[in-house]
Chains A and B, each alone.
Chain A
Amino acid sequence: MLSTTSAASSKSADLLASREIKHVVVLGANGAMGLGSGALFTTAVPRVTFLARTKEKADGGLAAAVKMVRSSTVAKRVDTGSYEADFDRVVAEADLIFEAVTEQLDLKQEFFDRIDAVRRPDSIVATVTSGLSINQLAAGRSDSFRKNFLGLHFFNPPNVIVGTELVAGKDTDPKLVDFIDAFCTVRLGRAMVRTADTAGFAGNRVGFKVLNECAILAEEHGPLLIDELVGPYTGRAMTPLATVDLVGWDIHRAIVDNIYELAPDEAHETLKLPQYMSELMGKGVLGRKTGGGFFGKDDGGNRIVLDPKTQKYVAKASISRPDLTFIDTISNLHRVGRYEEGMKAFAAATGPYAAIAHKVIAGYISYSFHRVGEVTDDISGIDRIMGFGFNWAPPSVLVDTIGLKATIQMIEKAGLPVPPALANAQEGTKFFDDPQVNVGKFFVAA
């Protein structure tokens, strides 16, 4: 989904002409983010170097990148190598050095030491970090490094998910930020969002708050019920806890722990990792990559679901579905394109289950609007990253679809703070401002 609000103006042509990226070096080119980002660069840059610990690993990254792009022609633009044999030479030649090594501060710092020693003073250094502080990563480096350093957070897999966060450090050259914004928008087809250098930036800050709250609620209500209550009908393609399983529990923990520690806010407790998840991770449960998390399959291939209370799995078929008629009604309305009626029915739904769903969705809206000024300049940045990074209905779309008054009532009823932007708005105000986006696509029938 390409949004043009970011940089697709006549200004972008001038910006694009202001510098050149003819050669990108990708560090960590055998990992998912490295090869995915590398794949993206091969489609737009004349030369891309894939580096990994060994040339064989880099070659493996290239082979996977070719499959992602679905064209072997891009391999003609790629050379591969190892950190030991090729690092100094290719980094010295590069216009953009893209760091995608393992998400560990000390490891990344080691690489930045080496980069700082050999890079050209005018080359760009970008990190794909999803959580580490850009200012912390830049600290102590040369002036030219800090000036040319920024965070470029693609979401996995980058060939499918176009939402991308752009994070400047305090010393980053503003002209470079403008250039990268235009380059990524026009040449790489990204939907760019500029965020502050705060924990989890914009997307993970808001997204993992919701995901973790679902994990907390799953302790009492079970993962299956929570995933249905906060399911596709609330504006997402993939259910929340299935998403945590896909992302990996270890990644989930790293993100929420980081936000919990560095960004205490009005929803602090919803960012505290549930104890049962810590305990299960101690036993090796990490989600889909270890064969199961909240959901899995038994040896017979039957679907099983975690019971967080007992930390044991039960057959999915044995879990009875309570009366969730309101979800069926809304889903049926979404199926025929009556999204507003559907979401108004959502806000009007009553009973204990609807109250749980209201709490999470109202929390998502309230939390998003409260982050304006802290992680992005305006709500459209959060809207864009939730829409194009997470594939969730952006908070503004939910307000527009549910209606302002009903949204405020839902937030109040959940005992959450009403964002001033909503409290001060007139009924009928449209919050989502990108006419090129079909908002209906976010509301998935069950």
Chain B
Amino acid sequence: MWVSSSSLRERKVLVKEMTQVPEVYVLGGYQTDFARNWSKEKKHFVAMMREAVKGALAETKVEPGEIEVAHTGNFAAELYSKQGHLGAFFLEIDPAFSGLPTSRHEAACASGSLAIQAASAEIEAHRYDLACVVGVEQMKTVGAGEGGDFLGTAAWYELEAKGIEFPFPKLFGKLGDEYDKRYGLKDEHLAEISTINYANAKLNPNAQTRTWYMNYDHAMSRDEFNGTIGGRIHISDCSQVTDGAVAVLLASPEYAKKWADRNGVSLSDVPRIKGWGHNTARIRFEDKVAESANDDYVLPHVRSTVTSALKRAGIADVSGIDAIETHDCFTTSEYMAIDHFGITAPGESWKAIEEGDIALGGKIPVNPSGGLIGAGHPVGATGVRQLLDGHKQVTGQAGEYQVEGAKNVQTLNIGGSGTTSVSFVIGT
């Protein structure tokens, strides 16, 4: 017998209270243009890593020789590019990286956040003062069907994906079905989530869909241009197949102080990772749902990730957060995130959608960047992209998708069908 989900969560609360979060500073970073197709450019993914890392170094005015450790987040280069050992590719970026300690981290779509977690832990443990984290995924090396099959390995492949066309849209369709069963769910609300993400993406110069056509009417259309991919999930409900890399530099207080001094900024204006949450649920979707049958939340471990990040940040609840970058691999995942963040009571995400709370300019903008649906979803890069967008928001550098006066931004990055969840609170 498995222990009940509620007792699992209680154990995590104890861990949480014993944890002090030392300071990890985010100096800045760089995102490649997610509209690019690197296979059409005939490039190896190392070109993408290189542009992201070089861009991050230029953006932060840090010399490559200053980097002490490097972490790569990547889901499935073995499948997409028949290449493993991605940490080692750092040494192909700059000769100054010769000898650098590197590693690669994988937890499906949460791989990027796991790389950030590892780098943060090393900084907190005083092993290193300055880490470079890059999230990278080159997905357009294969066609949609084959890519969909590769993504199926983020689920329990043999039980949930093998021989199934586009397994993930179907799994997240089931998430919608579970909401429908417990609380009711309308397509209109999912269409509105899609509309908002695409609209925000038009303001983001790195967003994959920034020139694409989308509005509520199209998201609600059901003909061949917006066909079903799996149950209630239509094309407009899906995130994109994306090539992209994002790099961020994380620093200890000691390095951050030096860095702030030499750049003429106050340390208190350099954003920090104020809190983090990280949980894992059983990999099979039906097991997760069975465990949460008596819970208010459909994915209680996701809820726990969100609340533990807030608690570590010393923020009482989501009202202390100014914007959210969440994991909208499908509209149903964002629908789930809305109540799991506590924006509404469980099952009432539709209220925040109808009130306009999650739109840019609303009470709590969700995915001002456009999220995975609008900005794109290069799987291993997404968690890093979310943190970088949080950094842009809290430093007032998000351009046209800036949330006015944002001080604290929270991310939520999810691997699999709600399996591995990681959340960060970034703020100044």
Q: Interface on A for B, CB 8 Å cutoff?
A: 1-2, 4, 8, 43, 69-74, 76, 159, 162, 189, 232, 237, 334-338, 436-438, 440-441, 443-446
User: Considering residues A43, A69, A232, A336, which has the most beta carbons from chain B within 10 angstroms of its beta carbon?
Assistant: A336
Q: Which residues of A contact B206 (CB under 8 A)?
A: 436
User: Considering residues A4, A436, A438, which has the most beta carbons from chain B within 10 angstroms of its beta carbon?
Assistant: A438
Q: Which residue of B lies closest to A332 (CB)?
A: B44
Can you sample 26 A-B contacts with CB below 8 Å?
A: A1-B35, A2-B205, A2-B211, A4-B399, A69-B213, A71-B218, A71-B221, A71-B225, A72-B223, A72-B225, A73-B218, A74-B213, A189-B202, A189-B210, A189-B211, A232-B42, A334-B43, A335-B47, A336-B44, A337-B44, A337-B51, A438-B51, A441-B33, A441-B36, A445-B42, A445-B43
0/1 per residue, B84-100, Cβ < 8 Å to A? 00000000100000000
| Residue B48 CB within 8 A of the other chain | yes
Q: Which residues of A contact B42 (CB under 8 A)?
A: 232, 334-335, 444-446
Interface of A is mostly: loop
Q: Which residues of B contact A76 (CB under 8 A)?
A: 217
A237 and B47 contact, CB distance less than 8 A: no
Nearest CB of A to B247, in Å: 13
| Residue B200 CB within 8 A of the other chain | no
A338 CA to B47 CA, complexed, in Å: 7
- With A71-B213, A72-B221, A436-B205 already in contact, the answer to whether A8 and B41 are too (CB < 8 A) is no
B202 and A441 contact, CB distance less than 8 A: no
- With A237-B40, A336-B50 already in contact, the answer to whether A70 and B205 are too (CB < 8 A) is no
| Residue B5 CB within 8 A of the other chain | no
A337 and B46 contact, CB distance less than 8 A: yes
Residues of B within 8 Å of A, CB-based: how many?
A: 31
**A189-B202, A337-B43, A337-B49 given; 19 more Cβ-contact pairs under 8 Å:** A1-B33, A2-B210, A8-B400, A43-B213, A70-B213, A70-B225, A71-B221, A71-B226, A335-B42, A335-B44, A336-B44, A336-B50, A337-B44, A337-B50, A337-B51, A438-B32, A438-B33, A441-B33, A445-B41
A440 CA to B52 CA, complexed, in Å: 11
Q: Which residues of B contact A43 (CB under 8 A)?
A: 213
A297 CA to B165 CA, complexed, in Å: 37
Q: Which residues of B contact A237 (CB under 8 A)?
A: 40
Q: Which residues of A contact B215 (CB under 8 A)?
A: 73
User: Considering residues A70, A73, A159, which has the most beta carbons from chain B within 10 angstroms of its beta carbon?
Assistant: A73
Q: Which residues of B contact A444 (CB under 8 A)?
A: 40-42
Q: Which residues of A contact B221 (CB under 8 A)?
A: 71-73
A159 CA to B213 CA, complexed, in Å: 10
Q: Which residues of A contact B46 (CB under 8 A)?
A: 336-337
0/1 per residue, B165-207, Cβ < 8 Å to A? 0000000000000000000000000000000000000100110
Which of B33, B92, B210 meets A336, CB within 8 Å? Answer: B92
A437 CA to B55 CA, complexed, in Å: 12
Which of B32, B92, B211, B217 meets A162, CB within 8 Å? Answer: B211
A1 CA to B33 CA, complexed, in Å: 9
- With A335-B42, A336-B50 already in contact, the answer to whether A4 and B205 are too (CB < 8 A) is yes
Nearest CB of A to B44, in Å: 5
Nearest 8 CB-CB pairings of A with B:
A337-B47, A337-B50, A445-B42, A436-B205, A73-B217, A71-B218, A438-B33, A189-B211
A230 CA to B59 CA, complexed, in Å: 33
Q: Which residues of B contact A337 (CB under 8 A)?
A: 43-44, 46-51
A305 CA to B92 CA, complexed, in Å: 39
Q: Which residues of A contact B218 (CB under 8 A)?
A: 71, 73
A445 CA to B202 CA, complexed, in Å: 29
A338 and B50 contact, CB distance less than 8 A: yes
A145 CA to B223 CA, complexed, in Å: 42
A440 and B47 contact, CB distance less than 8 A: yes
B217 and A441 contact, CB distance less than 8 A: no
A318 CA to B50 CA, complexed, in Å: 39
Nearest CB of B to A361, in Å: 19
Q: Which residue of A lies closest to B59 (CB)?
A: A435
A438 and B36 contact, CB distance less than 8 A: yes
Nearest CB of A to B216, in Å: 9
Which residues in chain B, 298-336, are within 8 Å of chain A measured between CB atoms?
Answer: none
Nearest CB of A to B213, in Å: 5
Q: Which residues of A contact B399 (CB under 8 A)?
A: 4
A71 CA to B198 CA, complexed, in Å: 15
Nearest CB of A to B404, in Å: 14
A289 CA to B75 CA, complexed, in Å: 44
Q: Which residues of A contact B35 (CB under 8 A)?
A: 1
Nearest CB of A to B229, in Å: 15
Which residues in chain B, 3-39, are within 8 Å of chain A measured between CB atoms?
Answer: 32-33, 35-36
Q: Which residues of B contact A1 (CB under 8 A)?
A: 33, 35
Q: Which residue of B lies closest to A237 (CB)?
A: B40
Nearest CB of A to B345, in Å: 34
B51 and A440 contact, CB distance less than 8 A: yes
A341 CA to B16 CA, complexed, in Å: 50
User: Considering residues A189, A335, A436, A441, which has the most beta carbons from chain B within 10 angstroms of its beta carbon?
Assistant: A441
A237 CA to B43 CA, complexed, in Å: 13
Q: Which residue of A lies closest to B55 (CB)?
A: A438
0/1 per residue, B250-293, Cβ < 8 Å to A? 00000000000000000000000000000000000000000000
Q: Which residue of B lies closest to A68 (CB)?
A: B213
Q: Which residues of B contact A159 (CB under 8 A)?
A: 211
Q: Which residue of A lies closest to B30 (CB)?
A: A438
User: Considering residues A189, A232, A436, A440, which has the most beta carbons from chain B within 10 angstroms of its beta carbon?
Assistant: A440
A14 CA to B89 CA, complexed, in Å: 48
Q: Which residues of A contact B44 (CB under 8 A)?
A: 335-337
Nearest CB of A to B89, in Å: 9
Q: Which residue of B lies closest to A434 (CB)?
A: B205
Q: Which residue of B lies closest to A187 (CB)?
A: B202
Q: Which residues of B contact A70 (CB under 8 A)?
A: 213, 225
Nearest CB of B to A327, in Å: 13
Q: Which residues of B contact A445 (CB under 8 A)?
A: 41-43
A112 CA to B22 CA, complexed, in Å: 71
